[in-house]
Amino acid sequence: MDLLKILVIGSGGREHSICWKLAQSQLIDKIYCAPGNPGIAQEAKCEITSIAVLDFQAQVEFCEQKKISFVIVGPDNPLACGIVDYLQQNNIKVFGPNKQCAKLEWSKIYAKEFMMLNKIPTAKYLIGNGYNDALAKLKANPWLKVFKADGLCYGKGVYVANDNNDSSECINLLYQNALNKDNQAQIVMEEKLCGIEMSLFLLCDGKQAYPFYTSQDYKRRYDHDQGPNTGGMGAYSPHELYADWNQLIEKYIIKPINNNFHNAQFDYIGILYVGIMLVKDSTKNELIPYVLEFNARFGDPETQAMLPLLNSDLAYLCLNAINGNLNQNMITWSNAKSIAVVTVLNQYPNPTQPSIITNMPEETNNFKLFQAGTVRQNDQLIAQSGRVIAAVAFDYDYTQAYHIVYNKIKEIKYNNIDYRKDIALHLVQS
């Protein structure tokens, strides 16, 4: 077989970790990333190209010109806009779900209907058909505490009522901020579940979903889960409870998903990310994994935490997923544990002045940096926006990984750097 040439779409830390992992594959000759970032440009076999993630026609032309073997799509937005359908119509192979399958992410209402149809445990809900209807339904149903915009909102589409924030205020905020005052927009309104969260990643080949791996991400901006939701401030992998819960997750979540795949010709290819809450059901006195959401892609920063632990060849897995030939034995992991900590500019999630990065720690065989919100200008690396760098340590246990990552991250130097200090802290032994 000729060596593979791959095009990765995206520019974040997730795409950096995908490119880095692909570069280790013996099957691969060349990795292009559009538009990529300065960190990706430095990886072996990698080259960045300035094609935008939504410029599908330019991507097709690039694939034809470079004889790309297949494309891997990182972010949600091009998936929701039909990148997979477009590339496939042009005879280009893609690792990622088509627009209809990706609807599990881009419509929360569709995701809820999918769960109801397939009897997958999920929070009780009602649909708000516009602002006035949402408020009226809330009045009649005071148990509604969680409010979600139907479409993609880049991490800003969910409001959960708490002590400082009552339900009607959540509805106001959702319509004002995430929905740009579109008072006709539909929303999902849910009961609030309490439990432990877990991110489960399934690898799908159009016929079946196979457990890939697990992680825990930290969505809140500040330590001890304070402050606003963000794209993700850190993650560790694997999730420490998966071994205890995998049979229940198989029974309540993976089996029904696979029944749907078989019965409904749901030819999902790529990663299906399942956001789970492990809940103690008081009425049944049973522990049940509930699905909070689906995403049609790898998580960010969960991917940066997971991929350093993957023993299998990522290119081989993607190729077999595209060709409908996966099996569980192909997916193997090291026993190590990893922790990813994301650095930001301190005003994040609000924008701040960019700042020059004056020092980066050395990478080792158990420590890696994945760049996201960086740009290179006149030979200087700049912390430009949002999440800047994911520092990832992987070692034989969480304690060791924690000490490595927090010792090394101190060496990253730019003005107004900030990061959470408590990623995986509960797993650290003193």
The footprint of ligand AMP (CB under 6 A) covers: 123, 146, 148, 158, 160, 190, 192-193, 197, 219, 275, 292-293
Which of ligand AMP, ligand GLY, none interacts with 160 (beta carbon under 5 to 8 A by kind)?
Answer: ligand AMP
How many helices (H) and strands (E) the chain has is answered by 14, 23
**CB atoms near residue 45 (< 10 Å):** 18
Which of ligand GLY, ligand AMP, none interacts with 251 (beta carbon under 5 to 8 A by kind)?
Answer: none
The nearer residue to ligand GLY, 305 or 381, going by C-beta atoms, is 305
Which of ligand GLY, ligand AMP, none interacts with 217 (beta carbon under 5 to 8 A by kind)?
Answer: ligand GLY
- Determine contact, residues 17/53, Cβ cutoff 8 Å: no
Q: How far apart are the first and last CA of the chain?
A: 51
- Least distance in Å: CB of 390 to ligand GLY? 11
- Least distance in Å: CB of 2 to ligand GLY? 33
The nearer residue to ligand GLY, 78 or 354, going by C-beta atoms, is 78
Which of ligand GLY, ligand AMP, none interacts with 190 (beta carbon under 5 to 8 A by kind)?
Answer: ligand AMP
- Least distance in Å: CB of 157 to ligand GLY? 11
DSSP code at position 253:
I
Residue 27 structure tokens:
């099957």
Which residues make up the interface to ligand GLY (CB under 6 A)? 217, 232, 295, 299-300, 302
The whole-angstrom separation of Cα 185 and Cα 129 is: 7
The nearer residue to ligand GLY, 304 or 400, going by C-beta atoms, is 304
- Least distance in Å: CB of 295 to ligand GLY? 5
- Least distance in Å: CB of 120 to ligand AMP? 14
The whole-angstrom separation of Cα 3 and Cα 23 is: 12
The whole-angstrom separation of Cα 132 and Cα 283 is: 33
Residue 17 structure tokens:
């970790």
The nearer residue to ligand GLY, 289 or 354, going by C-beta atoms, is 289
- Least distance in Å: CB of 299 to ligand GLY? 4
The nearer residue to ligand GLY, 385 or 415, going by C-beta atoms, is 385
- 3-class DSSP state for residue 62? helix
Residue 168 CB-density burial (10 A; 0-12 exposed, 13-18 middle, 19+ buried): middle
The nearer residue to ligand AMP, 150 or 313, going by C-beta atoms, is 150
- 3-class DSSP state for residue 199? strand
The nearer residue to ligand AMP, 22 or 146, going by C-beta atoms, is 146
- Least distance in Å: CB of 158 to ligand GLY? 11
Q: How do beta strands 269-281 and 286-295 pair?
A: antiparallel
The nearer residue to ligand GLY, 75 or 211, going by C-beta atoms, is 75
Which of ligand AMP, ligand GLY, none interacts with 295 (beta carbon under 5 to 8 A by kind)?
Answer: ligand GLY
Which of ligand GLY, ligand AMP, none interacts with 292 (beta carbon under 5 to 8 A by kind)?
Answer: ligand AMP
- Cα–Cα distances in Å, from 240 out to 16, 29, 165? 25, 36, 31
Phi, psi for 318 (deg, rounded to 5): -65, -40
**CB atoms near residue 375 (< 10 Å):** 14
The whole-angstrom separation of Cα 201 and Cα 192 is: 23
The whole-angstrom separation of Cα 409 and Cα 415 is: 14
Which of ligand AMP, ligand GLY, none interacts with 232 (beta carbon under 5 to 8 A by kind)?
Answer: ligand GLY
The whole-angstrom separation of Cα 292 and Cα 122 is: 6
Distance of CA 262 to the CA centre of its chain: 25
Which of ligand GLY, ligand AMP, none interacts with 192 (beta carbon under 5 to 8 A by kind)?
Answer: ligand AMP
- Least distance in Å: CB of 422 to ligand GLY? 17
Which of ligand AMP, ligand GLY, none interacts with 43 (beta carbon under 5 to 8 A by kind)?
Answer: none
Question: To which residue do tokens 């790529």 refer?
Answer: 270
- Least distance in Å: CB of 275 to ligand AMP? 4
The nearer residue to ligand GLY, 12 or 354, going by C-beta atoms, is 12
